[in-house]
Amino acid sequence: MFKILKKDSKTKARLGLLTTSHGVIKTPTYVFVGTYANIRHLSPLDIKRSGAQVIISNTFHLWDRSKKEKNFLAKGLGKIPTMTDSGGFQVLSLAFDDKDRVGKFMKDDAKLDTSYKRTKIKITSKGVKFFYNKKWKFLGPELSMKIQAKIGADIIFAFDHITSPLDDYAYNQKAVKLTDKWAKICLKTRNPRQMLFGIVQGGLFKDLRIKSAKSIGAMPFDGFGIGGSYTKEQIAGVLKYVIPHLPDDKPRHLLGVGKVADVFEAIENGIDTFDCVIPTREARHGRLYTKTGHMDIRRGAYSADKKVIEKGCGCATCSKKISRAKIRELIKSEDVKQNAAGQRWCLMHNMWFFNNMLEEIRAALSRGTYQTFRDKFLTRFNG
């Protein structure tokens, strides 16, 4: 169930509550990625202390585990609302031999290119055949629903046909038709105890995005995801095409987007939740977020720095007065346990930073001062 508490008067941002079987999610909120049903180096208690409200795990990577276990997300994540994706994006990533050319984001000057071939996947009307671990496998809408039911997330996503930013109009047109077809199958074969989100596709083509949004939006999904790959500068445009054609009373999720500036862009275009690996992936490499930008804690400049990561920060790392120097020493250590301890301190800080940023955004929406807060935050944040 989704309840809108307040709408911003100058943007499409809204304040809401998304109720799941494992708790109520205050929206807008950041969804952290726990690919393998955990966040490496963090315990469920650590995750709770970070302020995380919801975690998304990966159906493709949990496929084998789901054959042996059921409803296992709580083991690594604790009693927290969870999501699982459909597995479709991972299948796309297997499609191209040259992975540097195709990804979630492309350079702003990327051009359509039909010269490459999908050598490792074959799209069929029933799903996708793909070559993985030296053998051909198959994943389609019915199987995706079955796997996600076994994993047991509160919110799951329909299996869709994601495209590359390099795909032309004709290819995206076919993908929209297949996404529609598969969406209907997902609705028929879903576990009714899970919330199911349909996904809008259409690439960078306005008419296809609108067509997909109208079609998927008319189906009885519990919420909607906006999927696909695009350049950074095109996110806002895609959202402006899509959002007006989705039901206003249901939650909207932006898949795989979560840089600081993109968070604000998404929220003021009507997005309620969004997931991204940035906070956790960058933390494990020592890149830490503060209100003025980033710091690379691995740099020699911090080797004797006794200050905490950020003064006034409420994360577990800064609250325990773990110094920059200590974190640097740990994360650069070749000792596995010490390195893991360093990563843990970084993870808890970054997750708290993004959670706190969203808490402040929600507070600004509640007060009716969202734009003022946004301008002040982004002016100060250099990154």
Catalytic residue selected from 8, 160, 262, 275: 275
Catalytic residue selected from 8, 85, 262, 272: 85
Global confidence as pTM? 0.92
Whether residue 46 lies in the annotated active site: no
Residues 267 and 327 in one domain: no
Considering the domain boundaries, does residue 383 fall inside one?
no
Residues 272 and 318 in one domain: no
Residues 28 and 93 in one domain: yes
Print the domain residue range for 311. Answer: 284-378
* Boundary of a domain, candidates 276, 297, 331: 276
Residues 288 and 256 in one domain: no
CATH code for position 7:
3.20.20.105
Residues 186 and 72 in one domain: yes
| Residue-by-residue pLDDT tens, the chain, 383 positions | 999 999 999 999 999 999 999 999 999 999 999 999 999 999 999 999 999 999 999 999 999 999 999 999 999 999 999 999 998 777 766 655 444 444 444 444 545 555 556 777 888 999 988 888 888 889 999 999 999 999 999 999 999 998 877 788 999 999 999 999 999 999 999 999 999 999 999 988 999 999 999 999 999 999 999 987 666 678 888 999 999 999 999 999 999 898 999 999 999 999 999 999 999 999 999 999 999 999 999 999 999 999 999 999 999 999 999 999 999 999 999 999 999 999 999 999 999 999 999 999 999 999 999 999 999 999 999 87
Structural domain count, the chain: 2
Q: Show the 3-state SS of the chain.
A: CEEEEEECCCCCCEEEEEEECCEEEEECEEEEECCCCCCCCCCHHHHHHCCCCCEEECHHHHHHHHCCCCCCHHHHHCCCCEEECCCHHHHHHCCCCCHHHCCCEECCCCCCCCCCCCCCEEECCCCEEEEECCEEEEECHHHHHHHHHHHCCCEEECCCCCCCCCCCHHHHHHHHHHHHHHHHHHHHHCCCCCEEEEEECCCCCHHHHHHHHHHHHCCCCCEEEECCCEEHHHHHHHHHHHHHHCCCCCCEEECCCCCHHHHHHHHCCCCCEEEECHHHHHHHCCEEEECCEEEECCCHHHCCCCCCCCCCCCCHHHHCCCCHHHHHHHHCCCCHHHHHHHHHHHHHHHHHHHHHHHHHHHHHHHHCCHHHHHHHHHHHCEC
Residues 298 and 217 in one domain: no
Whether residue 296 lies in the annotated active site: no
